[in-house]
């Protein structure tokens, strides 16, 4: 599963995160993972992010690709990339 992400520079959470040099908060990226899972599978009562790594900042207005794959052991692995750079990755399971 793949989806294109772009957080609008006018998003209300950006002022203050960080003043003068805004970056997209990690919680917005994780929210995009949850939203993509629910678009594909329907409403999920609860998710648990087992492992998450934020490797680079995503700037407002930048385009990133969110990729989800199903794990053999259950759950999903996600990657968020801007170009060739990995922004974030991790694993999530239904709780």
Q: Which residues are catalytic?
A: 17
CA distances from 10 to 22, 26, 63, 66, 94 (A): 11, 17, 15, 21, 32
Burial class (CB in 10 A: 0-12, 13-18, 19+), 51: exposed
Least Cα distance to 90 among 73, 59, 69, 72 occurs for 69
């Amino acid at each position: 599963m793949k989806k294109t992400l772009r957080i609008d520079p006018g998003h209300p959470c950006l002022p203050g995160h960080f003043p003068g040099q805004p970056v997209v908060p990690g919680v917005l990226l994780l929210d995009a993972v949850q939203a993509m899972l629910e678009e594909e599978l329907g409403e999920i009562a609860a998710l648990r992010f087992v492992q998450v790594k934020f490797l680079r900042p995503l700037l407002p207005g930048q385009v990133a690709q969110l990729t989800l794959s199903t794990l053999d052991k259950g759950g999903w692995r996600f990657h968020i990339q801007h170009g060739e750079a990995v922004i974030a990755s991790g694993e999530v399971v239904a709780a």
